[in-house]
Structure 1
Amino acid sequence: GKNGYLDLFTGDSSYAKQWKYTDAPDADARAVQAAYWADVWAKQQGKGSDVATTVGKAAKMGDYLRYAMYDKYFKKIGNCVGPSTCAAGTGKDASDYLLSWYYAWGGSNDTNGGWAWRIGSSHVHGGYQNPLAAYALSSYADLKPKSATGATDWGTSLTRQLEFYRWLQSSEGAIAGGATNSWQGRYASPPAGTPTFYGMYYDWEPVYHDPPSNQWFGFQAWSMERVAEYYQQTGNAQAKAILDKWVKWALSKTTINPDGTYLIPSTLQWSGQPDTWNASSPGSNSGLHVTVADYTNDVGVAAAYAKTLTYYGAKSGDATAKSTAKALLDGMWNNYQDSLGIAVPETRADYNRFGDAVYVPSGWSGKMPNGDAINSSSTFTSLRSFYKNDPAWSKIQAYLAGGAAPVFTYHRFWAQADIALAMGSYAELLE
């Protein structure tokens, strides 16, 4: 619109020119994780100075990353109900010491009006946590932030993250969704009996519900891989206890076929809820359950899962974890290579959503950056007409007209990177 997207949200007649950024805390934490390994390996080669500048930047970024620990509007953590009655935080009592979904900041572009803003996030997902990054920022000299309390805060976060995993661990072993300090995103009252973690309410699908944010096994593999790296580096007993249970469950749901092909969990379904957290006497979560709805041979998730098994197996000595890691890596290498990388065909029934209507408030209209009209009759595809220029568009078009779901072989960059890292980790630790 004439004010960008601002007038979708407020009814002002005019708006100041402004800039804004949003941050993905899990990605920043993974960058810290990478900087940690770069520093470790460079020092082993006597070349620590080669990465010192980059590692220093990672430490500084880790300092700012603490904004991800705070409630969206910096309200106190715990039993926070009612936007006007939930108390504003002072000092660090608005911090949950976990990696939340995002934080954001912005300000004025007008030199005559200096103002700025920042927000945190009230929603925390189990899949976003990174104990290795918290360990590095709290205990590893080259990555400790220079601020007075940065390293101490990350030390608190490390303990809190491990507690969070324990609180979210189902009876079977998988890690459930997460928690929020702002029920329904507006500090509403949760249903009676909703369990809590340091006063934050359990949410089995934090942030997004279409599809549910914790139905994807990939979040399990990604997050547990970070726990396994931390365990491999430190031997931490809490991390081992979480991994012991998780690995046993994951292995029980993994199939390695005689020809080397494999099936791992894909879609998870959740029921029940955890016990309210008691740090001195954690509950057994006997009422929190997970089932596997379907399975996949996805190479990116399999690589992350193999990395988890590699780091866990290397430290624990678990023979099945080590042999399954090898089987997954050998299986994708021998069965799923092509001229571009390693990938598998995917039947994509979700492309039926291309025709979905997109809600636009009545009376509002605008244009997408490419010129596509935005109005109350917009659909997913009408806002993204560039898809129709894709050489494979006819497959989607035929499906939307009632044909079979299209099959595509995607070479996702993150998946190719995870495969390479998994191969390297296995070679380093288990070859």
Structure 2
Amino acid sequence: MKFGSTMFRSLAARAARTQKFASTLVLGPAALLVMAACVPIEPTGTGAVSPGGPTGPAGAAGQPAVAAQDEVKPPPAPPAAPEPPVKNTGNVYTDHFLELWTDIHKLSNGYFSPEGIPYHAVETLLVEAPDQGHETTSEAYSYWMWLEAMYGRVTKDWSHLDRAWANAEYYIIPSLADQPTIKGYSPRKAATYAPEGDLPQDYPVALDSRIPIGVDPIGEELKTTYGPAPIYGMHWLLDVDNFYGFGKRGDGKSRGAYINTFQRGPEESVWEAIPQPSWDAFVGGGPNGFLDIFQKGTGFAKQWKYTNAPDADARAVQAMYWAKKWADEQGGNTSVDANTEKAAKMGDYLRYSLFDKYFKVIPCKSPSCAAASDYSSAHYLLSWYYAWGGAAPGSGGWSWRIGSSHNHSGYQNPLAAHVLAQFAPLRPKSPKAAGDWATSARRQIEFYRWLQSAEGGIAGGATNSWKGRYDAPPADAKTFYGMAYQSAPVFSDPPSNDWFGFQVWSVQRVAEYYYVTGDAGAKVILDKWVAWVKANTKLKPDGTYEIPSSLQWTGQPSLDWNDQTQNFNGSDKTFNAGLHVKVTSTTPDVGTTAGLVHTLTFYAAKANDKDTQKLAKELLDRMWAKFRDPKGLSNIETRKDYKRFNDALHLPTGWKGKMPNGDVIENGSTFASIRSKYKQDPDWAKVEAYLKGGPAPTFTYHRFWAQTHIALAYATYGWLFP
């Protein structure tokens, strides 16, 4: 399961498994993005227990009916080539933003589908967290919202932000029709326990109804607030072009299909993952669809299941905070007001990410540890995912929900937590929500500080479920509110925190939080982090530059951190003196550079740091001069990891099935053999030549998240340093 020499992370690094790439570039995450580390797939029938019983509890009497979502009309097709009303603003960085905005929105450049869905990338032959370039992620949608918020600030045109939200509601936020048995959910029977394995070979795993599951502490509150409504959150991954042929709700043909990939433990790379539909109607796969690849049992039920990448939903909230502020400065906008309310609702449901996976007490060091009946299951951090699912029509009335026990520094967003707590237009309607987010905002800042290395970089994270099965952590593991330190939460091959991109993504939010609040604790973290980054950034005489790419971690935090034991003394050199980070490779990658510039810009503006401002400007100028192309900014990548197209897949002994197009899935199948449509891709020839012994292929990719973050970096500098 080893990868090449350096790496890329994507979302769903947001719910996802990312891999180490061979090029010298570090590219992005996607949600992450996101994978549900063995989301409980609930069968019904012999030997299986569904969370709400055979039919599930009925919805509460007196709650408002929810309209059938199939009645909603799709959003209009996007304009072919929209142009900003003004292109020369008098600020070169704002003008660069408008140029890039125009490039991204020109349909012939390929960033959007005919339906207006943002692709993960312009290019189709691309394997990272999304395993095909014309999938998309909640990460991409949240970046789109962020981009259009800034466009509204610059142009006073908020229609494109409204378009982004309308598209998200139709395509990536599952409707009631996509979660039809949601009313069968009982907070007292949230899910059935399933342990996580270490390797793909450890799957399928068995559900174990003997393990106590805690009470979902926000389920009843959400039901009281919104009625028996569907969960309002983005699923992390869409097959936009229906590359795999699953379609929507098992129809085999609809575009914009909900899919999932990663399910089998911390060592499952994208090359070993098996794509499956989020609505498993046994169309494709074996007699039980794809369910019995992951879970043991009999009498499997057709079902739906979705996974949320919390960092993406939090980014959408972050974007709407600025949209509302800027629109109000312009006199107000009704569409922004309406979409801000939607973001607040999204933030209400996003609280599921603040709780342990099975709502167990914290700390938990055994599967038999106590099931929580209240907020004793809350860690208050943005964890790796939350997930939910239920029976398809005709298969019962049950539904389940889980949080996540694994917390990664790269997913935190204290600004989103702060505005959900303190900014009135974004406060969710549920009575406890604002208080939950106020606690979360402070807890996240503490988390960053606890994880800050002696050099300044932010280490991995902490978990309440060691090995994903509530094992006892090592006796000497330092803890954060009882949760054990992990240098690489969620996935370990490659280590999840060795990508510098997670540093800039996450610390950018700290810098933005500092800019908004002036929080002294955030400044302590930023002062040290910025100094570390500046010491490891090189501006070369030839006009190029290098920033960190891959990181190596040793040691652990010095404190068992809790509400009584903390350290925000920035001059205390003994704090975390044994926790170290080393930069092992560097890169000029444009997406990561944009994240770094964005971070430095907010910090420099608030701290009045002229030297940091100068570095941000230098990176922007050099990036534009060296990497501008007709579709945006990009680097050339050498993809030695594409030798893994021929990697064999692990399947349960005797398991055999088919993809919807007829590709056979069995032991001996490969990544490529179950994705035979890749052989029709215009870039396949150079991959095929590589697999036959030729040179490693090179690509110039235009990832949506990277292009939008680049645009935002220019716009933010133009805004804060006019």
For residues 376 and 324 of structure 1, do their structure 2 counterparts lie closer, same or farther at Cα, with a shift above 3 Å needed?
A: same
Q: TM-score, normalised by structure 2?
A: 0.58
Specify which structure has the higher proportion of helix. Answer: 1
Provide the residue aligned with 1:248 in structure 2.
Answer: 531
Residue 82 of structure 1 pairs with residue 366 of structure 2: yes
Q: What is the deviation of 1:212? A: 1.2
Provide the residue aligned with 2:481 in structure 1.
Answer: 198
Once residues 313 and 128 of structure 1 are traced to their aligned partners in structure 2, the CA distance between those partners, rounded to angstroms, is 23
For residues 207 and 59 of structure 1, do their structure 2 counterparts lie closer, same or farther at Cα, with a shift above 3 Å needed?
A: same
Q: What is the deviation of 1:421? A: 0.5
Once residues 278 and 222 of structure 1 are traced to their aligned partners in structure 2, the CA distance between those partners, rounded to angstroms, is 24
Once residues 28 and 119 of structure 1 are traced to their aligned partners in structure 2, the CA distance between those partners, rounded to angstroms, is 17
The 8 Å contact of residues 32 and 58 in structure 1, kept in 2 or not, is answered as yes
1:201-220 mapped onto 2 (5 Å cutoff) = 201-220=484-503
Provide the residue aligned with 1:56 in structure 2.
Answer: 341
SS of the residue corresponding to residue 2 of structure 1 reads: coil
Once residues 554 and 619 of structure 2 are traced to their aligned partners in structure 1, the CA distance between those partners, rounded to angstroms, is 29
The 8 Å contact of residues 36 and 55 in structure 1, kept in 2 or not, is answered as yes
Give the aligned residue type for 1:415.
A
Residue 377 of structure 1 pairs with residue 668 of structure 2: yes
Once residues 291 and 330 of structure 1 are traced to their aligned partners in structure 2, the CA distance between those partners, rounded to angstroms, is 27
1:96-135 mapped onto 2 (5 Å cutoff) = 96-110=379-393, 113-135=396-418
The 8 Å contact of residues 360 and 378 in structure 1, kept in 2 or not, is answered as no
Once residues 498 and 692 of structure 2 are traced to their aligned partners in structure 1, the CA distance between those partners, rounded to angstroms, is 29
1:376-396, Cα deviation, whole Å (9 max, x unpaired): 102121122222222222222
Provide the residue aligned with 1:25 in structure 2.
Answer: 310
1:278-303, Cα deviation, whole Å (9 max, x unpaired): 34343711111111111111101100
Give the aligned residue type for 2:664.
A
SS of the residue corresponding to residue 424 of structure 1 reads: helix
Once residues 614 and 542 of structure 2 are traced to their aligned partners in structure 1, the CA distance between those partners, rounded to angstroms, is 15
1:319-334 mapped onto 2 (5 Å cutoff) = 319-334=610-625
1:131-210 mapped onto 2 (5 Å cutoff) = 131-210=414-493
Q: What is the deviation of 1:155? A: 0.3
When structure 1 is superposed on structure 2, of 228-237 and 376-385 the one drifting more is: 376-385
Once residues 315 and 170 of structure 1 are traced to their aligned partners in structure 2, the CA distance between those partners, rounded to angstroms, is 23
When structure 1 is superposed on structure 2, of 30-39 and 200-209 the one drifting more is: 200-209
1:216-241, Cα deviation, whole Å (9 max, x unpaired): 00000000101111111111111111
The 8 Å contact of residues 301 and 395 in structure 2, kept in 1 or not, is answered as no
Which of 608, 620, 645 is residue 354 of structure 1 equivalent to?
645
Provide the residue aligned with 2:40 in structure 1.
Answer: none
Once residues 301 and 715 of structure 2 are traced to their aligned partners in structure 1, the CA distance between those partners, rounded to angstroms, is 50
SS of the residue corresponding to residue 377 of structure 2 reads: coil
Q: What is the deviation of 1:49? A: 2.8
Residue 297 of structure 1 pairs with residue 588 of structure 2: yes
Q: What is the deviation of 1:276? A: 3.0
Once residues 654 and 468 of structure 2 are traced to their aligned partners in structure 1, the CA distance between those partners, rounded to angstroms, is 26
Q: What is the deviation of 1:110? A: 3.2
Provide the residue aligned with 1:8 in structure 2.
Answer: 293
Provide the residue aligned with 1:72 in structure 2.
Answer: 357
The 8 Å contact of residues 636 and 700 in structure 2, kept in 1 or not, is answered as yes
RMSD value over aligned CA atoms?
1.3
1:299-351, Cα deviation, whole Å (9 max, x unpaired): 01100110000000000011221111111111111111111111011112221
The 8 Å contact of residues 302 and 395 in structure 2, kept in 1 or not, is answered as no
Give the aligned residue type for 2:499.
W
Provide the residue aligned with 2:518 in structure 1.
Answer: 235
Q: What is the deviation of 1:133? A: 0.1
Q: What is the deviation of 1:111? A: 5.3
Provide the residue aligned with 1:264 in structure 2.
Answer: 547
Provide the residue aligned with 1:42 in structure 2.
Answer: 327
SS of the residue corresponding to residue 211 of structure 1 reads: coil
SS of the residue corresponding to residue 457 of structure 2 reads: coil
Give the aligned residue type for 1:352.
K
The 8 Å contact of residues 460 and 489 in structure 2, kept in 1 or not, is answered as yes
For residues 9 and 335 of structure 1, do their structure 2 counterparts lie closer, same or farther at Cα, with a shift above 3 Å needed?
A: closer
Residue 406 of structure 1 pairs with residue 691 of structure 2: no
1:372-422, Cα deviation, whole Å (9 max, x unpaired): 211010212112222222222222222223332221111111110001111
When structure 1 is superposed on structure 2, of 176-185 and 356-365 the one drifting more is: 356-365
1:178-219, Cα deviation, whole Å (9 max, x unpaired): 111000001112222011111101111111122211110000
Higher relative contact order (CA closer than 8 Å, sequence separation 6+): 2
Q: What is the deviation of 1:82? A: 1.5
For residues 370 and 275 of structure 1, do their structure 2 counterparts lie closer, same or farther at Cα, with a shift above 3 Å needed?
A: farther
SS of the residue corresponding to residue 326 of structure 1 reads: helix
The 8 Å contact of residues 16 and 110 in structure 1, kept in 2 or not, is answered as no
For residues 247 and 119 of structure 1, do their structure 2 counterparts lie closer, same or farther at Cα, with a shift above 3 Å needed?
A: same
Give the aligned residue type for 1:251.
K
Once residues 108 and 278 of structure 1 are traced to their aligned partners in structure 2, the CA distance between those partners, rounded to angstroms, is 41
Aligned residue-pair number: 429
Percent identical pairs in the alignment equals: 60
Once residues 381 and 711 of structure 2 are traced to their aligned partners in structure 1, the CA distance between those partners, rounded to angstroms, is 29
1:64-90, Cα deviation, whole Å (9 max, x unpaired): 100001111110111x11212x11012
1:29-54, Cα deviation, whole Å (9 max, x unpaired): 00000010100100010124331110
The 8 Å contact of residues 303 and 395 in structure 2, kept in 1 or not, is answered as no
Give the aligned residue type for 1:93.
S
Once residues 77 and 374 of structure 1 are traced to their aligned partners in structure 2, the CA distance between those partners, rounded to angstroms, is 40
Once residues 29 and 177 of structure 1 are traced to their aligned partners in structure 2, the CA distance between those partners, rounded to angstroms, is 19
Once residues 368 and 291 of structure 1 are traced to their aligned partners in structure 2, the CA distance between those partners, rounded to angstroms, is 43
1:122-163, Cα deviation, whole Å (9 max, x unpaired): 101000000110011000010011111100000000010000
Once residues 230 and 11 of structure 1 are traced to their aligned partners in structure 2, the CA distance between those partners, rounded to angstroms, is 45
SS of the residue corresponding to residue 93 of structure 1 reads: helix
Once residues 493 and 675 of structure 2 are traced to their aligned partners in structure 1, the CA distance between those partners, rounded to angstroms, is 20
Once residues 402 and 289 of structure 2 are traced to their aligned partners in structure 1, the CA distance between those partners, rounded to angstroms, is 20
Provide the residue aligned with 1:420 in structure 2.
Answer: 711
Provide the residue aligned with 2:138 in structure 1.
Answer: none
Q: TM-score, normalised by structure 1?
A: 0.97
